[in-house]
Amino acid sequence: MTSNTKIARAPLSSKIGGPGARPIAMLVKKGEEAVSQVRESFSDFLGEKLCELAKMRARLAPDREEAWQQFYTAVMDLRGSSALAGQRWVSSLSFSLETMLRERDPGDLRIGPVIASHMDAINLVISGRAVDDRSPVVLLSELSRAVDCLALKRPRA
Amino acid sequence: MEITEADFSKLCIFVLDDSVFVRRLLEELLRSFEVGEVVSVATADALFAEMKRRTPDIIFCDWQMYPIDGLDVLRKLRHDKDLKHLRIPFIMLTGHNGNDEVQTALGEGADSYVVKPFSAETIMKHLLKVIARDRGALIREEVWSID
């Protein structure tokens, strides 16, 4: 018996050298400009995401686990994307909602209005009608108090 | 040795994320780095369908997706009999930064782990780290012959 060794894939370092190589610092600067430009398009994405979340919210019911999972994943996306776009308050409000969905019992009938309050708060902040920088802080505080009243998820048997 | 300059034009990078915004951000970022080919997809099924057409050099993959998440994708890449020999470098993207999550991803074979939100500098740092550490992949064949 003999054994042959073949190259399935060459090391990546062999693919990045050569006369076309550019300074990393220059490429990072180009990257920062690209990120800035994409961030400017965030409001379009946000509008679509909020519509999607509204539709998903309408499908939530205590026994529809898949609907809750999809809603949770969409809220996580909103949180992460808004953080990437530098939208601090949208990200914070989404994080509050995300944490609530992860920790609280979907069977608690009070959860629906608390979800609605979170969505209203996000819409208020986006609209620019949250009067000043203190308003989102107040909103978060009130939402946190509402979440604290909800039942925790029961651990799975 | 630190990499101070690079030509990424020969690289093909796949991006898997269910967020339109994150896909667009990474596409534009990697293109600004002059990566030769950037392919972005929204689902694991789409990723594996693309991999039937060509093999990526690196995969950026979001962890939190539903119903198949990034960890499922990573496990398939590392254990599937048709894919595991390629040992494709894999960078996990996630909103979670707990030590347990990091260890889980690395333990399953991720080469790096990026917490969102990320900057251009962060993505470049992880890209270079993965490239510097990559040793390629070999296939050993055993050939029986009757002498």
What's the complex ipTM?
A: 0.90
pLDDT in tens, B53-108: 999 999 999 998 878 999 999 999 999 988 888 899 999 998 777 778 888 889 99
B-chain residues within 8 Å CB-CB of A19? 7
Closest CA to B114 of A40, A36, A80: A80
Cis bond leading into B117, ω under 30°?
yes
Pick the more confident residue, A133 or B118: B118
Among A34, A49, A76, the residue with its CB nearest the CB of B64 is A76
Please give the model's pTM, rounded to 2 decimal places: 0.82
pLDDT at B142: 60
Structure tokens at B20: 């339109």
Chain A interface, best mutation among B2, B9, B25, B97, by max A CB count within 10 A? B25
B-chain residues within 8 Å CB-CB of A73? 18, 64-66
Over residues B18-44, the mean pLDDT reads: 95
pLDDT at A126: 86
pLDDT at B100: 83
Structure tokens at A48: 């679509």
What angle is formed at CA A28 by the lines to CA A13 and CA A46, rounded to 5 degrees?
115
Contact between B64 and A76 under an 8 Å Cβ cutoff? The reply is yes
Q: Which of residues 72-101 of A touch B (CB under 8 A)?
A: 73, 76-77, 79-81, 83-85
Q: Can you tell me the distance from the alpha carbon of B10 to that of A18, in angstroms, rounded to the nearest whole number? A: 11
Name the average pLDDT for chain B: 91
